[in-house]
Amino acid sequence: MSYITSKNLQESDKEIFDILENELDRQSDHLEMIASENFTSPAIMQAMGSVFTNKYAEGYPAKRYYGGCEEADKVEQLAIDRACEIFKCTYANVQPHSGSQANGAVYAALLKAGDKILGMDLSHGGHLTHGSKPSFSGKNYSAFYYGVELDGRINYDKVLEIAKIVRPKIIVCGASAYAREIDFKKFREIANEVGAILFADIAHIAGLVAADLHVSPFPHAHVVTTTTHKTLRGPRGGMIMTNDEDISKKINSAIFPGLQGGPLIHIIAAKAVAFKEILDPAWKKYAQQVINNTKVLADVLMQRGYDIVSGGSDNHLILVSFLNKDFSGKQADSALGNAGITVNMNTVPGETRSPFVTSGIRIGSPALTARGMKEKEFEIIANKICDILDDIDNTRLQEAIKKELKVLAQDFIIYNKSTY
């Protein structure tokens, strides 16, 4: 007799089932506008919940330390091949469990403890793993920073000035809160001038790069990392890519056995499914709609008197600055959340408040675009955001708008409970 229960989740663990049902309701009824969040397809979730969750497969295709990896080899190779086709590169490692671990592997492969890295300041739109002091990247390595000007844009001449002084081993380009296109060619020129390796983290913009709607880091970057969720709309995970065979070998060793043990084959299978979706011609339409919707957000907020950092956006997000307002990013985050709009507080150039309070919010369009919303809906939502911010302490208004937006959200249900 099998010792494995045949009960489904509702029968096996009603507490967890109810929590999942509540989260499904929240995602359906609320407007998810955090720039790093998105909705995967049911096919991707099916792969994540597949029998591959049972399989250990330490090593790489055809070079495993466990038996029974024939099918695991096939699925990982498919993911690799599709990733290389999407990003027009030669080598890809699809095993990183997250973007942070992908970044850690790059450092482990190419640096020694204490080596200098030059990355974007966290408070200016960078990421923890780009050298921030609380992160391993700021503790294990000697980290220096560049930022943006008060206009919200990177000044590449200043980056070069800093690089000449610092002489880093690695320059990190890429951001988690930067609304303008990144000039990878200029970054490579800077790296060449100071003899540095150029490392591009495209976790936020990868889906736009995949659609040829943002300039690619290749052939300029020596090594590139990304998450596989965010604008790529896949499962939560990471990936590392390069055109350099020597770097590829070092990366593979850094991931396994350096930082990770057995790869998550069920997640790699889901990555492969996501990559197939991205290779469909329809992907470019989605990515273009993401950009179009972001521009509507920016235009409406500016028309209503709100400051948008850098004066607009070239990608999937905007940063709204409240430096000239008497309320904080934390207050705005809370008020919008009460109205069923999920964003996140964020620091802005010229920040005067603490990182736990901030003077801005970050708003993204990928998740609502995945639900099928277009310019018309984003204009409505943007005006509702402004209505809330104009009268930020009005909880009755927040409740009323929440009811209105719930009706709007119901017209764009992404997961049907009967088939989820």
User: Is the bond into 263 cis (omega within 30 degrees of 0)?
Assistant: no
Mean pLDDT (the chain, rounded): 96
Which region holds residue 372: left if phi is over 0, alpha if psi is between -120 and 50, else beta? Answer: left
Point out the catalytic residue in the list 55, 230, 271, 402. 230
Q: Is 73 a catalytic residue?
A: no
**Each residue's pLDDT tens digit, 7-47:** 899 999 999 999 999 999 999 999 999 999 999 999 999 99
Point out the catalytic residue in the list 29, 58, 71, 375. 58
**Each residue's pLDDT tens digit, 163-184:** 999 999 999 999 999 999 999 9
**Each residue's pLDDT tens digit, 205-230:** 999 999 999 999 999 999 999 999 99
pLDDT at 250 over 90: yes
Q: Is 227 a catalytic residue?
A: yes
Q: Is 226 a catalytic residue?
A: no
Q: How confident is the model at residue 126 (pLDDT cuts 50, 70, 90)?
A: very high
Q: How far apart are CA 385 and CA 407, in angstroms?
A: 16
Spell out the domains of the chain, with CATH numbers in brackets: 48-279 (3.40.640.10), 283-410 (3.90.1150.10)
Q: Is 384 a catalytic residue?
A: no
Q: How far apart are CA 218 and CA 205, in angstroms?
A: 14
pTM for the predicted model, two decimal places: 0.96
Point out the catalytic residue in the list 186, 236, 304, 353. 236
How much is the average pLDDT of 305-323? 97
What are the start-end ranges of the H helices in 355-394?
Answer: 366-370, 375-390
Nearest CA-CA partner of 225 in 103, 136, 94: 103
Q: How far apart are CA 195 and CA 318, in angstroms?
A: 34
Q: Is 280 a catalytic residue?
A: no
